[in-house]
């Protein structure tokens, strides 16, 4: 099975060798992931985490060499979830328009269920765009990996004759990503009740404009999201 290339992020955590150790480590990461969605990766503190987990600070530290290692473990865990929910399901679809449309729709879905928690990729992008170091590098590597996967799907859709031959994969990726970012912004900051419908229609229009007749026939509009948004399920 095809896979999102794993980025070379060093695994850490001394006493995580045992099954129990690995379980505790994962529980800490899960808790940190939940917190990071709300307060950002930079807001994570070993102290607050220890408190939440009912552990000592040194107990938490024992599983991660440093706060940076914890932050990287959180990004990696987020990446794994994203891969499961978006990438693997999309590549189960046939190459070309079906796979590309599935990627776009699952990405949209992922961001829309994250309306309450916030997307770690998007919030960390702003947190770390000006902070060089291993956390930024890990974040960039994982985001690049996903963007590369989408660009690959676009290139395949061109090869399959489902997107027009003059489609620029980098340009189309930039545009898709823009609508995802605008959705996150409008739903989370502005609380616009119809932001999901706007994103859905924008993405549909984008793919339609670049599709060949063969591609158009394979394109199912994301109606489900639009009707959800119309019912005001998204932004409260």
Closest CA to 124 of 30, 40, 35: 40
Q: Report the distance separating Cα 138 and Cα 71, nearest Å.
A: 10
Longest dimension (CA), the chain: 62
CB 212 within 8 A of CB 164: yes
Does residue 122 bind a second copy (CB under 8 A)? yes
Among 2-10, 47-55, 67-75, 175-183, which window interacts with a second copy (CB under 8 A)?
A: 175-183
DSSP annotation of 48: H
Kindly state the smallest distance separating residue 67's Cβ from a second copy, in Å. 16
By beta-carbon proximity to a second copy, the closer residue of 60 and 197 is: 197
Q: State both tokens at 111.
A: 């961001």
User: Using an 8 Å Cβ cutoff, are 23 and 65 in contact?
Assistant: no
Window of 12-20, 27-35, 87-95, 195-203 that interacts with a second copy by CB under 8 A: 195-203
Cα distances from 30 to residues 34, 48, 53, 220, in angstroms, run 6, 14, 11, 35
Would you give the distance in Å from CA 78 to the centre of its chain? 7
CB of 226 vs a second copy, minimal distance in Å: 12
Listing DSSP states for 61-108 in one string gives HTTSSSHHHHHHHHHHHHHHHHIIIIIIHHTTSPTTHHHHHHHHHHHH
Query: x/- binding map, residues 131-150, to a second copy, per CB under 8 A?
Result: -----x--xx--xx--x---
DSSP one-letter code for 85: I
Interaction between residue 175 and a second copy (CB under 8 A): yes
Site string for a second copy, 69-108 (x = CB under 8 A): ----------------------------------------
Residue 166 in the binding site for a second copy (CB under 8 A): no
* Span from 66-74, 98-106, 182-190, 225-233 in contact with a second copy (CB under 8 A): 182-190
Contact set with a second copy (CB under 8 A): 38-40, 118, 122-123, 125-130, 136, 139-140, 143-144, 147, 170-171, 174-175, 177-182, 185-186, 188-190, 194-195, 198-199, 201-202, 209
């Amino acid at each position: 099975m095809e896979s999102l290339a794993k980025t070379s992020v060093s695994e850490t955590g001394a006493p995580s060798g045992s099954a129990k150790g690995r379980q505790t480590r994962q529980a800490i990461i899960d808790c940190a992931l939940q917190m990071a969605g709300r307060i950002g990766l930079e807001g994570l503190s070993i102290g607050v985490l220890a408190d939440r987990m009912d552990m000592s600070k040194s107990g938490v530290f024992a599983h991660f060499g440093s706060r940076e290692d914890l932050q990287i473990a959180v990004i990696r865990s987020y990446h794994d979830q994203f891969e499961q929910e978006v990438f693997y399901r999309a590549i189960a679809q046939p190459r070309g328009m079906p796979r590309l449309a599935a990627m776009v729709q699952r990405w949209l879905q992922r961001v829309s269920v994250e309306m309450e928690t916030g997307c770690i990729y998007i919030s960390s992008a702003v947190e770390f765009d000006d902070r060089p170091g291993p956390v930024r590098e890990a974040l960039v590597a994982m985001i690049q990996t996903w963007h590369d996967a989408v660009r690959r799907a676009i290139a395949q859709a061109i090869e399959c004759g489902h997107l027009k031959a003059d489609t620029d994969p980098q340009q189309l990726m930039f545009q898709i990503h823009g609508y995802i970012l605008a959705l996150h912004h409008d739903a989370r900051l502005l609380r616009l009740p119809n932001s999901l419908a706007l994103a859905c229609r924008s993405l549909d229009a984008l793919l339609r404009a670049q599709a060949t007749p063969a591609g158009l026939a394979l394109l199912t509009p994301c109606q489900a999201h639009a009707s959800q948004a119309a019912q005001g399920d998204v932004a409260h």
